[in-house]
Structure 1
Amino acid sequence: MISMRVAVLAFGLAASGAAFADDPLPRAKPEDVGMSSERLARIGETLKADIAAGRTPGAVIAIARRGKLVAFDAYGWRDKAANIPMTTDTIFNIASMTKPMTAVGGLMLYEQGKLLINDPLSKYFPKFTNMRVAVLDGDGLAGSVAADRPITIQDLMRHTSGLIYGGRGNTPVHKMYPAGSGNAARDYDGSAFMDKLASLPLLYQPATVWDYGFGLDVLGQTIEKISGQSLGQYLQANLFAPLGMTDTGFSVSAEKAARYARPLPADPDTGKPQARSPELTQPLKFECGGGCAASTASDYLRFAMMLMNGGRSGEARLLGPRTVAYMLSDQLGPNIKNLVGNADPTRADYGFGLGLAVRTTPGVIRMMGSVGQFSWPGASGTDWWVDPKEELAVVYLSAAPGPIRWHYRQKINALVYQAIMD
């Protein structure tokens, strides 16, 4: 009987969220908020088929419309190799979904007058005072020139600092930088990380090119400098606790490790080995604001709903509504080259706000959504978005870190929007 139930859960048949975790919102029938139960069922049908085919280990999805929860379901395996079924309280590496939370932390300090958006980074870390910008000559480094202007807090939040991820290019400059946020947090403590970045040439002049990099990690270090707390302590007190995000943080404790999702042992397309990265049951050398948090679908939905509600969650006011509107406005002017699509092809032709992508056109983009939709996914296989026009919030968490994650971002987007009927 027990093994049969495990099999049913694993091949899931969707598990009710109420059985495993507190619902993040009141529930409603999909039809009561303009969605189709029959069409929503296509999500489960699609995921079950893909799980059975070995394309993905499983997933948790939470969908809210008009402030009501219409789906909160678990499919497949939390740990396929160990035959452990997925449950809605499963904890996932959320990778770059950490970035919007770090941006909110910085905006809280902005609202308190403790930093300004155009403050130079060198105000907090003088070692960034005289930055140089690389001059490339073909495949080589010809030298460097002085930066035209300082890196600002805004540059950190919108990826226009020139402090690029080393793993996302092949130039001599890329080869000097750590590959990504998790790599940096594994290899350097916070002070050594900042020393490393300050010693390197920028790939671009500040405020000229959107290119993916360490901006939110550096913002996290700035938050620590101003607050006198670690980034995790600061976000716990000011964001996670007020929102009831009880399973979100920069480590996974021994008590919670059994709920921590693993990817398939091998990538289904390339056959290359896969593992959790970073491994958050082991301590990091610093809490990286660009990609080192873990969370659950219910926790992250609470964060998404706070932003959709203009900074409020129940009686808690975390940010002012004008601050949230500013965060969710496109921050890339006509003189900034937009390379968002290089970081994530599913977000090609989006604009970018502070810590997340913002949709500026109803068409062109390869996924459905309204102007004003905002999001930023994670390389570990996670995604989320909010569409204020549709009063829609979606969190999709899976441990699927390979390129297949782009496939599921598009597939889940289509399956959610096709279920809206009004």
Structure 2
Amino acid sequence: MADLNDTLSRHVGMGSVPGAVGLIARGESVEVAAVGTVDLEGTAPMARDSLFRLASITKPVVAAAVMMLVDEGRIALADPVGEWLPELASPHVVRTPASPADDVVPPVRPITVEHLLGSRSGHGFPSDFSLPAVAPLVSELKQGPPQPQLVPPPDEWTARLSRIPLLHQPGDGWLYNISSDIQGVLIARVTGRPLGEFLSERIFEPLGMVDTAFAVPADKLHRFTCYYRTGPGGGLHLADAADGQWSSPPAFPSGAGGLVSTLDDWLAFGRMLLAEGAVGDQRLLRAESVRQMTTNHLTRAEREAAGLFLEGMGWGFGGSVDVEPVEPWSVPGRYGWVGGTGTTAHITPSTDTVTLMFSQVEMSGPSFPALMRDFWEYAAGA
């Protein structure tokens, strides 16, 4: 019978990825596999402590940080974000999603903290990338495949965002990605501290996440994987080397996808969520806050409108939530997400499970790649 090592090795053998690491933890029982190499040249074997660009599995971490501020009463879910982000206090909204970017109407309600957490702010990517108001998200905000050294600092980024109309009224539907970046700016504005500093003190240090940050220091670069994408004619092409864009701190620490980390660091975060916010005798989050994060907030119509982004799954705060077993790997209540750099991280409270798989090849679109699907199916049946 195939095990985790076999599941990952099959894809390395097919050449779809140079290497991958996977981890399945049920309580204290942990199965781990590291296969292949950190780069195409075979410079070093993949290892349990190899460092990866997390991409969008950064989102649950940043959502948890926002909920910490809610727990402390520094912000409330119903608060309009314009108090801390005045640039976003009076946005314009395109008349219809298909309207030209200059055909706008006023908002019917303000953007709230809860809208950001649930990706319902009106800013973000729809399933149809051809809509006119989508283009500025890429050209002005550098959204898309992560490129941390090209994104402007938070104040300039937010000013640019304020000039781009919302695709729909705040609260009226789910859109991908940008709400999480706004959460990162919100945390910095509310606390008066850089996002990375707040995350380090309040999440990484208490959980022992010693390898998680927005950049990789020089003394850890030997553990950092290279990052690839598939070229037009097939084959893998280098998108970022170990000493590339993540080897120095970015001007804009992306709450949507900027962190680098390891399997064991994200495992510590996942176990904290499974413990409903507790870490030993410490409490990082209220149990109710974790439940809000890990509960679906979307209607069936909103899930269907998300198309390939969610493939029928729901969305909590910062991550997806399985609401019905539509696939062999679906487990109702499973919470987490995927990263466009080839990462996936989930918790399943009903089985006390954390499932993680990190690879280093960019997803070619919003549909989940075969490696992820095979890993999820193995994890569901293991």
Provide the TM-score with structure 2 as the length reference. Answer: 0.91
Shift of 1:283: 2.9
Report the RMSD for the aligned CA atoms in angstroms. 2.4
Shift of 1:100: 0.5
Q: 1:126 to 1:141 in 2, by over 3 A?
A: closer
SS of the residue corresponding to residue 173 of structure 1 reads helix
Shift of 1:390: 1.7
Query: Hey, what does 2:164 align to over in structure 1?
Result: 200
Distance in 1, Cα, partners of 2:195 & 2:58: 11
Instruction: Say whether the 8 Å CA contact 1:340–1:350 is kept in structure 2.
Output: no
Amino acid of the structure 2 residue aligned with 1:225 = R
Shift of 1:367: 4.0
Amino acid of the structure 2 residue aligned with 1:310 = E
Pick aligned residue for 1:388 from 318, 329, 349: 349
Write out aligned runs for 1:15-414 (5 A). 39=1, 41-65=2-26, 67-136=27-96, 140-141=100-101, 143-165=103-125, 169-177=129-137, 178-180=141-143, 182-183=146-147, 186-264=150-228, 266-267=230-231, 270-271=234-235, 273-276=237-240, 279-333=245-299, 336=302, 338-343=304-309, 347-361=310-324, 363=325, 365-403=326-364, 406-414=369-377
Distance in 2, Cα, partners of 1:411 & 1:87: 20
Amino acid of the structure 2 residue aligned with 1:58 = G
Distance in 2, Cα, partners of 1:417 & 1:138: 40
Distance in 2, Cα, partners of 1:75 & 1:131: 48
Q: 1:200 to 1:185 in 2, by over 3 A?
A: farther
Q: 1:333 to 1:416 in 2, by over 3 A?
A: closer
Shift of 1:85: 0.9
Amino acid of the structure 2 residue aligned with 1:231 = L
Instruction: Say whether the 8 Å CA contact 2:329–2:379 is kept in structure 1.
Output: no
Bigger Rg over Cα: 1
Shift of 1:405: 5.4
Query: Hey, what does 1:29 align to over in structure 2?
Result: none
Instruction: Say whether the 8 Å CA contact 1:185–1:287 is kept in structure 2.
Output: no
Shift of 1:267: 5.0
Instruction: Say whether the 8 Å CA contact 2:98–2:131 is kept in structure 1.
Output: no
Moved over 6 A (4+): none
Q: Which runs of 5+ in 2 are unaligned?
A: none
Instruction: Give deviations 1:346-394, integer Å, cap 9, x for gaps.
Output: x311111111111112x2x224232211111110000011111122211
Shift of 1:249: 0.6
Give percent identity, aligned residues only.
28
Shift of 1:259: 0.6
Instruction: Say whether the 8 Å CA contact 1:381–1:405 is kept in structure 2.
Output: no
Shift of 1:156: 0.9
Distance in 1, Cα, partners of 2:231 & 2:351: 35
Distance in 1, Cα, partners of 2:207 & 2:305: 33
Q: 1:136 to 1:265 in 2, by over 3 A?
A: closer
Which range moved further: 264-273 or 157-166?
264-273
SS of the residue corresponding to residue 79 of structure 1 reads coil
Instruction: Give deviations 1:82-128, integer Å, cap 9, x for gaps.
Output: 43210111000000011100000000000000001111111112222
Shift of 1:309: 1.1
Instruction: Say whether the 8 Å CA contact 1:352–1:358 is kept in structure 2.
Output: yes
Distance in 2, Cα, partners of 1:405 & 1:92: 18
Distance in 2, Cα, partners of 1:279 & 1:398: 18
Q: 1:283 to 1:349 in 2, by over 3 A?
A: same
SS of the residue corresponding to residue 250 of structure 1 reads coil
Q: How many residues align?
A: 374
Instruction: Give deviations 1:168-199, integer Å, cap 9, x for gaps.
Output: 71222111123427347623111000001111
Amino acid of the structure 2 residue aligned with 1:314 = G
Instruction: Give deviations 1:274-327, integer Å, cap 9, x for gaps.
Output: 413982113311111110000000100111111011111223311111111121
Shift of 1:269: 7.4
Amino acid of the structure 2 residue aligned with 1:53 = M
SS of the residue corresponding to residue 281 of structure 1 reads coil
Distance in 1, Cα, partners of 2:21 & 2:183: 30
Q: 1:397 to 1:168 in 2, by over 3 A?
A: farther
